[in-house]
Structure 1
């Protein structure tokens, strides 16, 4: 039932998907859905817990010692992309339900909290070395996480099969420049 639900949700979104759609995709009766879950929301809650655990595992490699700034950012972008790719239905479901349900808004905030905290700490360390002066570390982190989420959604939810390497490289480059890049030279007046 999970595979069918993930397929339907990735295609239609959780708000448009019905239990009947999920059951039809699974080749089962609508009533059989309720052998697994109490509701669509219950299904997404369970998915969110699994997602949280998987995302935590993927993020461990980002904090390894001895990485350059570029390597750390690339690993973070890779972990974000791969988690989104492997848990697209979960990401779509929780983010859509977060717009209309306070419980899911909290789930979404928890999903984003880890990356935001990591990037905030990254920005603070970078600022100590003279990068991104004047930026609010937490706001910059939230902007980067929002960019990562929206880019992953745009690329993966459209039904096409994007080039993982190209997408990860793009995310990594934008993330890296946001934190470690320099301002362009001022033009002569």
Structure 2
């Protein structure tokens, strides 16, 4: 991150321009010159902030993760279902906002081992957050009865795959496209019922 206010503004301009160009042209078709033009900067100045387009995509991935976390924290509540619903809503709406970047991330993770590792690091943050929720449920007397790490991985995978299917991959055959609220409620119910379906007295 550039130390000066001007540097931070310039980097922010490149990030926002990249989001615009990725949405219009797709990640692989986007050129650094396109991003620089959209940012109102010279192509040469791009390299003062990023080595390549992949590094810029990593920056946007970090931005995505930060926004999901911040929005999830805003919805924290003593009601377990409300907290889960807030987390799902944060992921769903932020995924839609960063859809072009998520497509680029998926494509890069399929072709670049280094980027695949970076994506796994991103998933790890989500898995840790879900694990914390599992431990909270167990402390409250709910018997999950499943391996916590495997379950956390499955829940994160559920969110990722469902968002990808309906936002990027055209949906499922013979299934009516669900609206946002239906999707959020369905994912929340699956997550909640898995953790809170069995309460142990005492």
| Stretch moving more, 144-153 or 50-59 | 50-59
Could you say which structure has the greater relative contact order, defined with CA pairs below 8 angstroms and 6 or more residues apart? 1
Distance 1:34 1:105, change over 3 A: farther
Does the residue aligned with 2:143 lie in a helix, a strand or coil? coil
**Structure 1 Cα separation of the partners of residues 169 and 36 of structure 2:** 22
| Stretch moving more, 89-98 or 74-83 | 89-98
Partner of 2:191: 175
Runs (5+) with no aligned partner, structure 2: 1-16, 172-176
Residue deviations 1:4-24 (CA, integer Å, cap 9, x gap): 222333xxxx4xx3236x94x
- What TM-score, normalized by structure 2, do the two folds share? 0.70
**Structure 2 Cα separation of the partners of residues 150 and 81 of structure 1:** 11
Distance 1:131 1:8, change over 3 A: farther
**Structure 1 Cα separation of the partners of residues 58 and 44 of structure 2:** 15
Equivalent of residue 120 in structure 2, options 84, 96, 109: 109
| 1:42 lines up with 2:55 in the alignment | yes
Residue deviations 1:16-73 (CA, integer Å, cap 9, x gap): x3236x94x9998xxx7776465431331232232233223222224x3x42111111
Question: Retained in 1: the 8 A contact 2:155–2:191?
Answer: yes
Question: Retained in 1: the 8 A contact 2:142–2:195?
Answer: no
